[in-house]
Amino acid sequence: MNRFIFIIILFCSCNQKIDDSQFLSGDVIFQESESSQSKAIQLATHSKYSHCGIIYKNNGKTYVLEAVQPVKLTPLNVWINKGKNKHYVLKRFAKPLSVNQLRSMEEIGQKMIGKPYDLWFNWSDDKIYCSELIWKIYNDGAGIKLSELEKLSDFNLNSEIVRKKLIERYGKQIPLGESVVSPASLFNSKNLVTVNFNHLINQ
């Protein structure tokens, strides 16, 4: 009986409606993705968080603009439910963003919608990956550099899982000098402060 009650409580707590009043447009949200490349990203960047998106509020509803296949707006609760254990971290730019900055960021983001996901992490606008999307929205829309760009060679590429993923994507021609920005780089940005560190299920 106690076990049954525990399961019911756990089920209800995991399906509670999310209070989105704390979320603001321009916030950056992080999660541990369940995708096939998540483990390689975690090992290469020494970070738990392998996926991120940017909050977009419209007509009283909250969305996450994310670079998946393709770049799209995902309802907040759907986005959170996709992450491992429904865990997320919400971060915000350290200073309030102006109306003009937010409007410009929104315009940049709208132009990105529909673009294909970039499996090769190239620094171009033809295809986009998650942290690149956020970095460019802030940089091009608000003139804010959230973090310094990195090179692929800056990451830990020694793990067998990482090496296999690199060979799968690039073969023997790994572009070690390619400019990249990782979810970890944004997560550790001094320009972003943590607003909410959520644990719906104990890690």
Tens of pLDDT, residue by residue over 60-72, are 899 999 999 999 9
Q: Is residue 4 pLDDT above 90, yes or no?
A: no
Q: Is residue 137 pLDDT above 80, yes or no?
A: yes
pLDDT at 172: 86
The larger pLDDT score, comparing residue 17 to residue 76, is at 76
Task: Tally Cβ neighbours within 10 Å of residue 96.
Answer: 11
pLDDT at 202: 36
Query: pTM, whole model, 2 decimals?
Result: 0.87
pLDDT at 83: 94
pLDDT at 131: 98
The larger pLDDT score, comparing residue 6 to residue 151, is at 151
In the beta sheet, which residues pair with residue 196?
90
Contacts of 55 (CB under 8 A, 6+ apart): 23, 24, 25, 26, 27, 28, 29, 62, 63, 64, 65, 76, 90
Q: Is residue 11 pLDDT above 70, yes or no?
A: no
pLDDT at 199: 54
Task: Give the HSE-up count for residue 141: Cα atoms under 13 Å, Cβ half-sphere.
Answer: 25
Give the pLDDT mean for 21-34. 94
> What's the count of helices (H) and strands (E) in the chain, helices before strands?
7, 8
Local confidence band at 17 (pLDDT 50, 70, 90 cut-offs): low
Give the pLDDT mean for 146-174. 92
Give the pLDDT mean for 31-41. 92
Q: Report phi then psi at 148, rounded to 5.
A: -75, 145
Contact criterion met (CB below 8 Å) for 93 and 101:
no
Give the pLDDT mean for 150-179. 92
Q: How far apart are CA 187 and CA 194, in angstroms?
A: 9
Domains assigned to the chain: 23-198 (3.90.1720.10)
